[in-house]
Amino acid sequence: MPASERICFILFVIFCLVFPWITKGSFAQAVMIQFLIFCLYGLGWNLIGGYGGQVALGQAKNVGMSAYTVAVLMVWWDIPFWVSTPLGVIVATIESFILGYFLFRLRGHYFAIATIAVSLVWQQLFINWNLIGGARGVELPLRETPNFLYMQFDSPVYYHYFAFLLVLAAILYMNWFRKSKLGYQLRMINSSEDMAESLGISIHWVKVKAYCITGVFAGLGGAFYTVYYNYIDPFSVMHLELSVMIALMTMIGGAGSMWGPIIGAMILIPLDRYLGAWLGGIGIVGVDFMIYSMMVMIISAYEPKGIWGIIEKARGKR
């Protein structure tokens, strides 16, 4: 990491570590945990969307696959979190692999539209699939005492630190990834597919691999989401809107830079929660989405590298 990013990283770590001790409000803590979950989703999406430049609008189905696996295993067979999470991540990854294998035959617009179509099919399927709760969703059984095996705690502080550990691992992984062979190959594909092909990079295979890693990130996020909220439904973990939100968030923060998704989540999640709570109270819906879409339009038109791009530009000029 360059020195400037190291400062960002240290500040971020300190902020996350002390956060539960400086705030007492449970709403603020819930927003913080949601921010961490979206960091995880966004860091994963950034891999294929930002570094790879592939507009895959289907992060929600990876999240949902894993969340549903964890929830169903826990409700039906009482399988602990630590066993069901790897299974959930594997399901999400396999799903990503199969879909990626077929969808990455398509390029550009065709690919983006196809991922939307797949997301809509999955969303519809899960809403109508009564065996796993359909539109009502799945509720996890509440346990009387805090239980580490099932990740049920009496204080949000534990969830906060667990989510923070996941995000920390994701950041460190991304830091390694962007200097790895796969990272360079992916960026090459983003800048020119033809040139990447002429350099002997197997485009299809690299994209599929990156898409699987995206699935792992989303799978971890989905599994954590399930045990944190104790309840999932297709609208919260399987919906196209979630995929859209993740993509817009990363785009605003800066697609293709490590801190982009984190900056995006830092702006959008508190905005969404506080604005939603305030506007929902006076009965206005959809203003939050209008603000994000305005931001994403401005960012895409004037600074496609997002807020991180603006920061880098400002530093370069100094």
Partner 1 sequence: MELLLPATISGLLMGMIFGLVALGLAIIFGVMNIVNFAHGEFLMVGMYTAFLTATILSVDPLLTLPVAAIIGLLLGLASYYLLVRYLLKGPMLAQLLGTFGLMIFLRYLAMSIFGPDYKNLEHGLLIGKTINWGPVVLSYSRLGTAAISLLAFGIIYWLMNYTRLGAALKATALDVEAASYMGINTERMRGFAWALGGATVGIAGALLTNFYYVFPTVGLLFVMIAFTTVALGGFGSIKGAFIAGLIIGLIIDVGATYVGPHHKLALIYLTYFLVVVLRPQGLFGW
Residues that bind partner 1 (CB under 8 A): 49-50, 53, 55, 102, 105-106, 108-110, 112-114, 116-118, 120-121, 124, 128, 190, 244, 247-248, 251, 255, 284-287, 289-290, 292-297, 299-302, 304
Gap between the Cα atoms of 230 and 33, Å rounded: 14
Min CB(54)–partner 1 separation in Å: 8
Which CB, 43 or 251, lies closer to partner 1?
A: 251
Which CB, 115 or 226, lies closer to partner 1?
A: 115
Which CB, 53 or 80, lies closer to partner 1?
A: 53
Min CB(112)–partner 1 separation in Å: 5
Which CB, 52 or 88, lies closer to partner 1?
A: 52
Min CB(300)–partner 1 separation in Å: 3
Min CB(95)–partner 1 separation in Å: 16
Which CB, 22 or 301, lies closer to partner 1?
A: 301
Q: What is 178-198 written as a DSSP string?
A: TTSHHHHHHHHHHH-HHHHHH
Min CB(258)–partner 1 separation in Å: 16
Which CB, 155 or 293, lies closer to partner 1?
A: 293
Min CB(206)–partner 1 separation in Å: 17
The single-letter code of the amino acid at 140 is: L
Which CB, 99 or 266, lies closer to partner 1?
A: 99
Min CB(108)–partner 1 separation in Å: 6
Q: Is the dihedral of CA 225, 230, 234, 236 positive or negative?
A: negative
